[in-house]
Chains A and B, each alone.
Chain A
């Protein structure tokens, strides 16, 4: 970390030490995360390509305007902002756990890891609610001259362009790709959050058992932290691509 101060002129590649001044495990975690960034990037770019090829795309402010326990109130972006806030908060608790690990303070690591895990679970709960709301929430759609009621799924998109029918406005089916991309990409991100929570839980147990004190360092917490921050990093772009633009 802050120990990465290399004297100018040091022969980094002469052997006997890590030329990047970082352990093998941490370096490989970085390269794994880089490859994972390409996976997410490919998904998001594919979504962008399809969206650019369509004449009409659902307005996120209409699709994502619900909040738990508020019924049909129109609250665009409110719930997803809460989810973003939870993830940022759990990111800062994670980095504080890493920091306590540097100080070899077992109690501190435990405390912040518990907060991080709770944040991850809260995020997953929010996502479960959002998915349920989208899949089960019916919307009137005009299909071949007949009014049908559709939820948002990978095969049905009730958020198409509006048209006049019997004197009032009604939506028509939208591009079918919407649900597939939304559930696919947020699902892949949610799976990362889930696996991050599992990894963090294992780290918490190992901390409690004193494994890292015996080992003399808390580097495993750092590696888990890198993964957890990556999850937050990906959410920045999922938030941007699906909810903001």
Chain B
């Protein structure tokens, strides 16, 4: 049975950063991912990474913008950690090879981004996530002797000892179908969010909430799951993301009358208000009949106001996306977009070192909720979050590993149980529904009732429907009977993970009877600090999900009215 000091599940930015940090501290490290690391969804992050590296900037300003962006639900101690450590982290990335865009003096250039009081977003054209991810993977290749890689291994469950401490995982080699137990002193979950719970979403097909659900099933609390970010600029049909960098470079949002409607809700920041504000403003235009395109379901994003050369240089990827996926030359005409599910602020509850309440279990990146994003994440803060808390988790886990023996655990029973569960899915009779049908219904349901605007009735409908889908999932059938690359059976397991994420998202949204950040309740349209300036934690117990609350940490910034 393979044994490691630190075993990381997920190989996007958070996971790779955690692996490199833990290895640097001298731990024996392995990183496991259901896909090849460079396929991880961090690759799709476009616009950039925030850090107060400019001499005119101050991390306190970055922190305040983040607190305000979070609608005061973010924990300010965690936000201080993230923002104060950001400059050193970004410079470290530069030193290991990231090809950050330069200004005329050869220094790193910075671009404007939503919700930020000054230009503080470092970038590589509009492929920043890809550039970061590939550079970290270069480092993993460089450090192949100290970081073992399990590429294309699917994790089925977490191992726990009698005290409930996490001490490894059960996983399946996708390529061979072989099941194996891995012992670890510490497991770091870094396997991303749960975007596929929604349809459409900007997230890749692999983003199915695996880590969130595994931690939840192991007894870890999930926090603020109702906070789901809709990105203001997604292609109408496919949900493909058009980077906020476009608005950062000066692009306008226009309704069917050609009006820059952001004047109404954010007269100062206009298109560069925080994402929740912009998405709501767009949805109002669409709902009130001022949308554009087929069925008036969209809004125009007008990039033609950005100088063409600058667009070609700094927004190259979306020039191609426009051409290839919408048939539009964005340098010549507006492109039709709408809000689309993009990110979840909630996740597995952790402290600033990535520790969950379960000993030996860490979480970092989108899977985690530290919380630095609170009710709404600022653009270009997610890459930062993955790297800062990935690194801190790796370092902390390595230090913890140094002071403890390798857990001695007999994993055979659980290994057998997981293997049998997979065999049982494969053997299901073709009664009931296909996995793909349930997944589609779930996605459309969530996009209908747990979207930009929510209310009690819709959320209750969602809750009841999810309960039915959960039942149906137990008997959902698949076609593939094989062991080699049986993606079909993994899809069935992923659907189970997604159902858990959807259930807790809706539960949180029902619970929070106010409007804050991404959660807007039309039946409770005001923010209510007196009652709801607190986190909602959901824990799985024998009777199902249990709701509890935890306080928001406030250090220097008292809640105030949020205006852009």
A binds B: no
